[in-house]
């Protein structure tokens, strides 16, 4: 693993729990009720996934929410890129199935 000082700030932030962004309060409140339902459903599904496989849930958080690529995610989690790809593939399939069941 490269020395910590050479890691991009986005990776350092992800290791601390994620980057922080300034958001204007009026922009943050522009979530429609439908969007809120989706966000809450995703959050609930991620919580269930975390109980089943915490690393897969962390991969989803880093890839989807933090916007890290496969290589960056591998560095943050200290796993191989092949493992990130495998975990990402399984997590996406699990979440899609889970979300489909919630909407039915």
**pLDDT tens per residue, range 8-20:** 666 666 666 655 6
What class, spelled out in words, does domain 23-103 have in CATH?
Answer: mainly alpha
pTM of the entire predicted model: 0.65
Taking only the tens place, the pLDDT of each residue in 31-65 is 677 778 887 888 899 999 999 999 999 999 999 88
Three-state SS at 76? helix
33-52 vs 81-103: helix axis angle to the nearest 10? 130
Structure tokens, 22? 């300034």
CA end-to-end span of the chain, whole Å?
Answer: 45
């Amino acid at each position: 693993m490269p020395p910590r000082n050479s890691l991009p700030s986005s990776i350092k932030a992800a290791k601390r729990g994620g980057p922080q962004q300034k958001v204007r309060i009026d922009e943050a409140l522009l979530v429609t009720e439908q969007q809120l339902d989706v966000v809450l459903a995703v959050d609930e599904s991620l919580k269930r996934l975390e109980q089943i496989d915490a690393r897969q849930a962390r991969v989803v958080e880093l890839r989807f929410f933090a916007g890290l690529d496969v290589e960056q995610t591998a560095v943050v989690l200290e796993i191989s890129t092949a493992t990130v790809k495998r975990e990402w593939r399984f997590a996406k399939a699990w979440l899609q199935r889970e979300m489909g069941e919630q909407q039915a």
